[in-house]
Amino acid sequence: MKVPGTTHLDEPRDRAPDSTLMLVNDGYRFFLNRLNHHHQDVFETRLFGERAICMHGPEAARVFYDPERFGRSHAVPSRVQKTLQGQGGVQGLDGDAHRHRKAAFMRLMTEDRVADLVDLFERGWRDVLPRWELSDRVVLFEEAQELLCRAACTWAGIPLHDDEVPHRAQDMAAMVDAFGAVGPRHWRGRLARLRSETWMKRIVAAARSGHVETFEPSALHTFAYHRDLDGELLDTRVAAVEVLNVLRPIVAISWYVAFIAVALRDHPEWRDRIRSDAGGHESELFVQEVRRVYPLTPFVGARVRRSFEWHGHRFDEGTLVLLDVYGAHRDGRVWERPGEFDPERFRGWSSDGFDLIPQGGGDHYRDHRCAGEWITIALMKSAARLLCTTIKYQVPKQDLHIDLRRMPTAPRSGVVIDRVERVA
């Protein structure tokens, strides 16, 4: 007998009645621990009281990002919508509605606009260097959040006073930090989401009434005046959510900035290579390997749109399916010596869109791959260059441990640097 929403009864499944606690305890290794036990790329479990099918590997990713088989509507738990993503945003849309809304995001991602954002970030970086030189210690993770928040808001057309920057940056970081969290960290994220949406709704309303000037192409203008397929303006709250869906992921790049600093400390030979890299090719290799090795997104979810079978596994309509992201970058079938940090692996690299998936797989325009991936790579390259070319600094003894049980994780100390000196 087949139980709806499950694989066949003789196929791999967790024996526990619910594996939520194990997910919290295992963190990023939850999938790999069970895949190693089951010796298959698919297994069934229960999370938060619901049956779920977990998938791993590039072939699974190709299936997972097939819009005919999977949808995102109702796939993201309410607790994640109320912290990380917001309700009503593009991540929860499917079909024509998703493609239409996604196109609005992609219009912000032109080469010139990405370059404008990088320029704002680099100018902000240079502006804070005198303060860093006078400081006994600089916590790079926290500084990057404020720098990215300021640059993102200016780029997006959001009015922001200097004294607001720390609070807005902390709220956007708290929304990211609440992913996978329970207890106080989750509630901090919910409060941050509430404050941020209230703030952004006021700005969207002011833009529509003409009290805040907007410009094209900016995120504020785009979503304040975006019309969905029915020809109606977005609800003010949904427009606010989408503007935050531009700002928050840019602030989240602060996690990668911290990882870049750790990677440069552990692999100092890359400092000289990036410093002398006029064309940006070496920094490209370096940041791609940082994206592969250092964990941010643990997994992504979707629901089966219509029942199908794949490799003998039955996927019934409505079933929650999770794709392993962390483990995908440690798959020896895809990556040679996956446990080693080796940016050279990306020299001459060609991707089909389903091997390196820290921000989703498939096509940027058609699928649910993150619209801001090009921004992420460009700002990471900029951060690597700035760390190598604009300052000399020391990394004092500290706890740089990256706890894989914590989602999202970061170096525990936030990466403290001291003795900062500007380089002409």
Cα-based distances in Å from 145 to 10, 131, 142, 163, 423: 48, 16, 5, 14, 23
Distance CA 200, CA 158 (A): 9
DSSP code of 304?
A: E
pLDDT for residue 247 is more than 50: yes
pLDDT more than 90, % of the chain: 81
Q: What number of other Cβ atoms are within 10 A of residue 3's Cβ?
A: 11
Is pLDDT of 154 > 60?
A: yes
What is the per-residue pLDDT for 13? 79
Residue 407 CB: number of other CB atoms within 10 A? 22
Please choose, from the candidates 224, 47, 45, the residue with its C-alpha nearest in 3D space to the C-alpha of residue 55.
Answer: 45
Please report which confidence band the pLDDT of residue 16 belongs to, taking 50, 70 and 90 as the band edges. Answer: confident
In whole angstroms, give the CA distance from residue 62 to residue 362.
7
> Is residue 3 pLDDT above 50, yes or no?
no
User: Domain coordinates of the chain in residue numbers?
Assistant: 20-422
pLDDT per position as a tens digit, 25-35: 999 999 999 88
* Bigger pLDDT: 287 vs 311: 287
CA–CA distance, 376 with 359 (Å, rounded to integer): 9
Residue 10's alpha-carbon distances to 3, 34, 38, 40, 51, in angstroms, are 12, 16, 12, 13, 16
Residue 10 has a pLDDT of 52
Mean pLDDT of the chain, nearest integer:
93
The average pLDDT across 253-268 equals 98
Tell me the per-residue pLDDT of 80-126, one tens digit each, with 9 for 90 and over: 888 888 999 999 999 999 999 999 999 999 999 999 999 999 999 99
pTM of the predicted model, to two decimals? 0.94
pLDDT for residue 2:
37
- Give me the architecture of the 20-422 domain, per CATH: Orthogonal Bundle (1.10)
* Mean pLDDT lowest among 211-215, 277-281, 314-318, 322-326: 277-281
Mean per-residue pLDDT for 235-255?
Answer: 98
Whose tokens are 């002398």? That residue is 276
3-state secondary structure (DSSP) of residue 151: helix
